[in-house]
């Protein structure tokens, strides 16, 4: 850990910054209680917002501590991991078809570019060799039927 890293550590009752994460205890806007927001360093939106425990006085929030922070980091990391998996699944699809007595995998990768969103359709043989590739509309629907149709047309060759 560099000197810069140790300077940015904060371990306070309502603010805990460590290990690339910041936990901030905030007033819960939905009710009388408290919430905790977990931010990944460099991000303006929280990765996780959840209820936070009241302190013994039933008025103020329970202070953050190392164990609670560690649990929050694990939970927020898992939320980010699941979001990334969902995003990957939404942008990448594949189907396997049989073409000329061989198994061909047809893959669609959506490129969500702000200026030029598009998809890339690829056909891969059973030895991982690319048979063909073509650009498609970003809303292209990859199904077995559309993959077979492309194959029946010789993969656009």
* Residue 36: closest CA among 56, 12, 19, 57: 12
Judged by average pLDDT, the poorest of 6-10, 39-43, 99-103 is 6-10
Separation CA 16–CA 25 (nearest Å): 9
β-bridge pairing 15-18 and 21-27: antiparallel
- For residue 80, count other CB atoms closer than 10 A to its CB: 15
In this structure, are residues 133 and 120 in contact, taking their beta carbons and an 8 Å threshold? yes
Q: Which two tokens stand for residue 23?
A: 């936990």
What is the tens place of the pLDDT at every residue in 82-132?
999 999 999 999 999 999 999 999 999 999 999 999 999 999 999 999 999
2 pLDDT tier (thresholds 50, 70, 90): very low
> What residue spans of 28-134 are helical by DSSP H?
66-91
pTM: 0.70
Instruction: Lay out the sheet containing 92-99: strands in order across.
Output: 92-99, 102-111, 118-124, 130-136
Give the separation between CA 120 and CA 132, rounded to whole angstroms.
Answer: 10
């Amino acid at each position: 850990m560099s000197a810069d890293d140790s300077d940015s550590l904060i371990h306070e009752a309502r603010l805990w910054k460590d290990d690339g994460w910041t936990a901030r205890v905030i007033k819960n806007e939905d009710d009388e209680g408290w919430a905790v927001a977990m931010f990944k360093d460099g991000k303006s939106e929280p990765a996780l917002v959840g209820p936070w425990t009241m302190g013994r006085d039933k008025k103020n929030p329970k202070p953050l501590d190392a164990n609670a922070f560690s649990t929050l980091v694990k939970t927020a990391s898992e939320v980010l991991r699941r979001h990334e998996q969902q995003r990957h699944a939404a942008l990448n699809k594949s189907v396997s078809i049989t073409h000329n007595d061989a198994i061909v995998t047809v893959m669609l990768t959506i490129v969500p570019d702000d200026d030029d969103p598009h998809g890339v359709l690829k056909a891969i043989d059973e030895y991982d060799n690319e048979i063909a590739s073509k650009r498609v509309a970003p809303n292209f629907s990859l199904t077995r039927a559309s993959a077979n149709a492309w194959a029946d047309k010789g993969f656009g060759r």
